[in-house]
Amino acid sequence: MKEFQAAITDLSHDGRGVARVEGKAVFVSGALPGEEVRLAIRRRHRNFDEAEVIELLTRSPHRVEPKCRHYGQCSGCSLQHLDAASQIQAKQRVLAENFERIGKVQPATWLDPLTDQPWGYRRKGRLSVRNVVKKGRVLVGFREEDNPRFVADIEQCEVVHPALGPKIGLLAQTISGMEAAGDIAQIEFAAGDDTMALVFRHLKPLSDADRAALIAFGQEHGMAIYLQPGGISSVHPLWPESPRLAFRIAADDDRAHDVELEFRPLDFVQVNAGMNQRMMSHAMQLLDPQPDDRVLDLFCGLGNFTLPIARRVATVAGVEGEHGLVERAAANAERNGIANAAFHVANLFEDQRNAVWAREPWNKLLLDPPRAGADKVLEYLPHRETQRIVYVSCHPGSLARDAGILVQRHGFKLVSAGVMDMFPHTAHVESIALFERA
């Protein structure tokens, strides 16, 4: 590989350093703005190249030593070499640039960033599994940084929930000793407040000995074990017979406003439990729910926002495209003694303007869409009665686009916006924005 010396002038949206070599943009993994590096081109493209650092010639004052010994090999969190304050600043800059470039809008006020514990926060995720015959053992972990076809060889993970993070190597050892060592494709993990669940996706039926080995692992480490021999509907508990996964959302003002949500191990829940709690408090402050409010919660999932809102308003409706999530949201409402929340199944990427819930007069709206955003919904919502909108986003580009729609087409003003560090040590940007009728 040909080597070059270059100055790093910026940080890309995916967390790589940016340099120019022979007039061409080069994205450099592990490099930070202000650093001088010797690099080697790893991949060439028409408009840019990708490179790796061979030698760090000058060091950024914001560089820190990564906590994880697998940093640089594992793709799980690529910004561990950047101090926490600079990570947040980089995410704020990404959000501001997207608002300006895509939405042509800027918030009247920037919210202070929301942060929480930066380690051991990940309660949901998927581990890849690979049986490496030449090594005579199984690897369990996330994909490699430089080659996503391969599984990083890790013993522990600093960002995964502490019930599992330190035990990934032990999990790999257990699978290595199984007859089905080559037939376990992946392991989904999900943690409630009291239980860590592992879901083993296996391509062939497991022997009695293999099932016993997984049960023994679960019993020794206090984890619920599920099997998935086929599609999502095939997931079932192996041990114990009826595990319970649930998490509580505490209210800031009154414990009577607390809610508890039960979920299944493959259900979508916010990855970061601590940040979810802080995000909930923040969203409530921005939405400012009042006893006579009628609130519409779109992309509601299990009712993560719907049920806390219901404790404070006259009525709330949650709309979600996945039938199973809607069923469990309704069950969670009943379990919490909430009678003023209704739930509807609807594909929000299709035109739903004739649905009964879409025609009702909602004075407040909450949106928490996936990465694609909510532009299809914004073709027919909000109505004139809607005075306030809180938008929770996992993608700054789609939020910026939708902000432009709300401001330019629907006559709202972007009152405030800010980032939430849902995924510390990654370039992922989670954010929240408040819109009010102008």
The DSSP result for 113-179, as a single string, is: PB---SSS-B-EEEEEEEEETTTTEEEEESBBSS-TTSB---S--SSB-TTTGGGHHHHHHHHHTST
Say what the pLDDT of residue 193 is: 97
* Rounded distance between C-alpha atoms, residue 175 and residue 172, angstroms: 5
* Rounded distance between C-alpha atoms, residue 362 and residue 400, angstroms: 23
Spatial neighbors of 175 by CB under 8 A, at least 6 apart, are 129, 138, 140, 181, 184
Say what the pLDDT of residue 50 is: 93
Question: Locate tokens 């369990």: which residue?
Answer: 140
Question: Locate tokens 């309660």: which residue?
Answer: 123
Q: pTM for this structure? A: 0.95
Spatial neighbors of 23 by CB under 8 A, at least 6 apart, are none
Spatial neighbors of 26 by CB under 8 A, at least 6 apart, are 6, 18, 19, 20, 39, 41, 48, 49, 50, 51
Say what the pLDDT of residue 197 is: 98
Question: Locate tokens 């070599």: which residue?
Answer: 21
Say what the pLDDT of residue 34 is: 96
Say what the pLDDT of residue 1 is: 67
Say what the pLDDT of residue 135 is: 81
* Rounded distance between C-alpha atoms, residue 290 and residue 305, angstroms: 15
Residue 394 bears catalytic tag: yes
* Rounded distance between C-alpha atoms, residue 144 and residue 74, angstroms: 5
* Rounded distance between C-alpha atoms, residue 219 and residue 298, angstroms: 39
Which one of the listed residues 77, 157, 300, 394 is annotated catalytic?
394
Query: What is the helix, strand, coil percentage profile of the chain, to 5?
Result: 25, 30, 45
* Rounded distance between C-alpha atoms, residue 155 and residue 236, angstroms: 27
* Rounded distance between C-alpha atoms, residue 405 and residue 393, angstroms: 15
Say what the pLDDT of residue 355 is: 97
Rounded to 10 degrees, the C-alpha dihedral 300/306/307/312 comes to 180
Tell me how many helices (H) and strands (E) the chain has: 8, 22
* Rounded distance between C-alpha atoms, residue 417 and residue 113, angstroms: 9
Question: Locate tokens 């580009």: which residue?
Answer: 397
Say what the pLDDT of residue 134 is: 82
* pLDDT digit string (tens) for the chain, length 438 residues: 678 899 999 999 889 999 999 899 999 999 999 999 999 999 999 999 999 999 999 999 999 999 999 988 888 888 999 999 999 999 999 999 999 999 999 999 999 999 999 999 999 999 999 999 888 889 999 988 777 788 988 999 999 999 999 999 999 999 999 999 999 999 999 999 999 999 999 999 999 999 999 999 999 999 999 999 999 999 999 999 999 999 999 988 777 679 999 999 999 999 999 999 999 999 999 999 999 999 999 999 999 999 999 999 999 999 999 999 999 999 999 999 999 999 999 999 999 999 999 999 999 999 999 999 999 999 999 999 999 999 999 999 999 999 999 999 999 999 999 999 999 999 999 999 999 999
82 DSSP 8-state letter = B
